[in-house]
Amino acid sequence: MSRPSPIRRFFSALWRGLTWFRLALSNLLFLAFLVLIYVLYFSGGPPPQPEKAALLLNLSGTLVEEKSEVNPLQALAGEPSPADREIALRDVLDAVHEAAQDPAITALVMELDFLVSAGISKSMEIAAAIDAFKASGKPVIALGDYFTQDQYLLASQADEVILHPMGAVPLEGFASYRNHFREALDKALVSMHVFHAGEHKSMAEPFLRDDMSPAEKVITSAWLQDLWGEYIGVVESRRNLPAGSIDRYINRYAERMAAAGGDAARVAQEQGLVDTLLSRPDANDYLVEQVGAANEEGFYEAVFFEAYINSKRPMGLTPMMEDRVAVVTAEGNIMTGEQPPGTIGGDSLARLLRQTAEQPGVKALVIRVNTGGGSVLAAERIRQAIGRIREAGMPVVISMGAIAASGGYYIAAEADEIWATPTTITGSIGVFAAFPTFERLLDRLGVNTDGVGTTELAGSLRLDRPLDPQVAATLATGVNFTYREFLDIVATGRGLAEEAVQAAAGGRVWSAPDAQALGLIDELGSLREAVAAAAELGGLDRNNHAVEYVQQPLSPRDMLLRQLASRVGMSGSLPFMDTGLQQLLQPVATAARTLTELNDPTHRYMRCLGCAAP
C-alpha cells in the first residue's frame, strides 16, 4: 500500500490540528461558562454585612414598577448612566421593611443626588415604608448636594435633612405641557387623520391643535391641583411647616434669594425645608456618629439597599408551592403580540396571567397596573384573560400605580376590587384612531401615485394616497363602536348606571379621590394593602399570607444577563448625567417613540398621552 503524498499528509495533519484546537477551544469555553455560572450565582456577591451599619438608599436612576429587558451590551459594558438605569420599586420597599427588623441596621440614610425620576405615587409608597421603619426607633437621615422636586419629596420623610452649603432646593410645582404638531405636520405636508370618541379625548389634541384646548386646561388643572395638594400636604406635615408654606416658598423664591444674597442653601434652611448645612466630609463625620460605625476608609458604614435585599431574598431556584397571592406587573404601553418587560404585550401578558392562575397554591391574583393604555386589540386580549380567570373562581384585584388610564382602566374595570394610590391618575375612558398619509409631500416632490384595484377599497390604506372617504367612515364607526363597548364594560364591571359611566367617561382624566367618588375605583391604598385585600378574597389570612411576585419567564441567556447587570450594579459608582443636548431632544424622541409604539392593526387606541403623572 503506497504512502499518501507529502501534500496530503500536510493537509491531514493540518486538519487534525484544527480539529484538536476546535475541541480544546470548545472545552475551554464550556469551562468558562461554568465558572461564570458559579461566579454569578454562588460567589462574588456582596461582602458579609457589617455588625453595625446604615441601610443606604443610594437611588440612582428612575423608579419603575418592573425593570425593562436587559441590554446585553449595556450589561457587559458596566454600570449604566443614571438616565438609563432603572430601580425596582419593590427592591426599595422590601429593603426598608427588612431593615426595620434587622438589629444590625442602625439607621436609614438616603443619598438622592442621582435619582432621576420617582413620581409622587411611587414616592408615597416609599414614604409609607419609611414610616414603618421609623417605628423601630432608628433614625432616618437624608443627605444631598441639591434636591430636585422628586428627590425632596423623599428627603422630607427623613428625621433630619442635610444639604450642602452650596446646594439648593428648587421646588417649582406640577405642570403638564406637551408638544402640539398640527402646524409642523402641515409644514411637512403630512395629513394626520384622527377620529376619536369621548369629548375630552386629549390624545387627539397634539395632532389637531397648536395649543391645549380650554376644556382640557380645566380638566388637567383639576388633577394637577389634586396631586400638588398631596405633595405639599405631605411635605408640610413631615417638616412641621404651616399650611401654605411650600407655595409661599416657591412664589417668593426670587425675593428671598435676593435677601439672602443668592445663598440658596440658606434660603432652604431659613424656610424650614432642611435642618443642617454640612459639607460632605462634615456630613460623613456626623453620620459616623449616628450610625455608630465607620469602614476602613473612614466613611460611615453602610450597605447598599440592592445588595442588602438580594442577600436577604431566597434564590428562588424552586417554585413556591404554599398557598399564596400572586402579583403580576403590567407596566408600559399596551402593544399587540409578545413584548419584553417594561412594555405590556397583549399576548405575553395574557399568557402570563393564565399560567400564573393555573399554578398550584395561587389563591388570588393581584395585577399592578401602571400604564396610560395603547392598543385596543391588545387591551381586549388582556381583559378576556382576566375574565376567564375570574370565571374559574379566582379573585382578581387591581392595584393602580402612578397611571392607570384609558387602556389601563379598560383592563381593570371588571376586577373584583380596584385599589389605587391617593395620587394615581385614572379614567380617560375614550377611544381614538390615527392614520397619517403623505400624498401632499409626495406631490410637492413630484411623485405621483396611480394604478388600479379590484374593488373600491383596494389600495385605500396606502400612506401615499389620500384617505378614502369609506375608510374614514369605517374608522369613525369602529371608534364609536369600541367606545360604546368600553362604556358597557365599565358599567357592568363597576355596577354603575349607564348615565353615571357617561358622566365619568368622555376621555376625561380623574385623580384617584375623584375616581373613587365616581365609583370608578373601590379603595385608596398601596400595593401591600391591595395584596392583603386579595388574600382575604382568596380565603387566606389578611395579615399573614405568602406573596409571590411573578415575572415573565426568562431564557437562560436573559437570566445570566440580568444577574450580570445586577452584580455590576453593586459597584455603587455614579457616572455623569446625560448631556443637555439629549435632554433638549427628549420631547422629539418621546413623540417618535410613541408613534412607533402605536401598532394596533385596526389603528384604534385607548391611550392617554396628557396624563403623565408628575
Specify the length of the chain in residues: 614
Backbone phi, then psi, for 391, in 5-degree steps?
Answer: -65, -30
Rounded CA separation 421/411 (Å): 17
pLDDT tens digits, 265-291? 999 999 999 999 999 999 999 999 999
Q: pTM of this prediction? A: 0.82
Rounded CA separation 356/385 (Å): 11
DSSP string, 294-325: B-TTSSBPEEEHHHHHHHHS----S---SSEE
- What pLDDT was estimated at residue 67? 84
Strands 431-437 and 191-197, by their bridges, are antiparallel
Q: What whole-number percentage of the chain has pLDDT above 90?
A: 56
Least confident of 423-427, 435-439, 446-450: 435-439
- What pLDDT was estimated at residue 459? 84
Rounded CA separation 406/439 (Å): 32
Least confident of 46-55, 98-107, 216-225: 46-55
Is 57 within 8 Å of 75 (Cβ atoms)? Answer: no
Query: Given pLDDT bands bounded at 50, 70 and 90, which one contains residue 358?
Result: very high
Distance of alpha carbon 582 from its chain centroid, rounded? 20
Rounded CA separation 215/569 (Å): 46
- What pLDDT was estimated at residue 323? 93
Is 412 within 8 Å of 606 (Cβ atoms)? Answer: no
Distance of alpha carbon 302 from its chain centroid, rounded? 27
Strands 431-437 and 604-607, by their bridges, are antiparallel
Alpha carbon separation from 141 to 59, 112, 159 (Å, rounded) = 14, 11, 6
Residue corresponding to grid cell 438616603: 110
Tally: H helices and E strands in the chain: 24, 23
**Where does residue 115 rank: exposed (0-12), middle (13-18), buried (19+ CB within 10 A)?**
buried
For residues 37 and 239, which has the higher predicted lDDT (pLDDT)?
A: 239
Handedness of CA 54, 57, 60, 64 (dihedral sign): positive
**Where does residue 387 rank: exposed (0-12), middle (13-18), buried (19+ CB within 10 A)?**
middle
Is 174 within 8 Å of 182 (Cβ atoms)? Answer: no
**Where does residue 191 rank: exposed (0-12), middle (13-18), buried (19+ CB within 10 A)?**
middle
Strands, E, within 33-167: which ranges?
A: 53-57, 61-64, 86-88, 105-111, 115-117, 140-144, 160-163
Q: Is 428 left (phi over 0), alpha (psi -120 to 50) or beta?
A: left
- What pLDDT was estimated at residue 583? 43
Is 500 within 8 Å of 520 (Cβ atoms)? Answer: no
For residues 610 and 65, which has the higher predicted lDDT (pLDDT)?
A: 65
Rounded CA separation 272/245 (Å): 9
Tell me the one-letter amino acid at 416.
D
State the virtual CA torsion across 598, 601, 604, 608 in degrees, nearest 10. -20
Q: Which of 195, 206, 210, 223 is nearest to 594 (CA)?
A: 206
Side-chain half-sphere CA neighbours of 489 within 13 A: 23
Quick count: other Cβ atoms within 10 Å of Cβ 165?
Answer: 15
Active-site residue, 201 included: yes
Backbone phi, then psi, for 566, in 5-degree steps?
Answer: -65, -45
Is residue 576 pLDDT above 50, yes or no? no
Cell of 333: 404601553
Cell of 232: 405639599
Q: Which of 610, 570, 604, 609 is nearest to 593 (CA)?
A: 609
pLDDT tens digits, 79-111? 566 667 899 999 999 999 999 999 999 999 999
Tell me the one-letter amino acid at 77.
A
Which residue in the list 123, 406, 428, 511 is annotated as catalytic? 406
Active-site residue, 81 included: no
Rounded CA separation 565/76 (Å): 7
Rounded CA separation 67/75 (Å): 13
- What pLDDT was estimated at residue 312? 84
pLDDT tens digits, 246-258? 999 999 999 999 9
Query: Given pLDDT bands bounded at 50, 70 and 90, which one contains residue 303?
Result: very high
DSSP string, 223-247: HHHHHHHHHHHHHHHHTTPPTTHHH
Is 199 within 8 Å of 428 (Cβ atoms)? Answer: no
Is 370 within 8 Å of 403 (Cβ atoms)? Answer: yes
Rounded CA separation 440/248 (Å): 52
Q: Residue 199 in 3-state DSSP? A: coil
DSSP string, 376-393: HHHHHHHHHHHHHHHHTT
Quick count: other Cβ atoms within 10 Å of Cβ 551?
Answer: 13
Which residue in the list 201, 375, 428, 526 is annotated as catalytic? 201
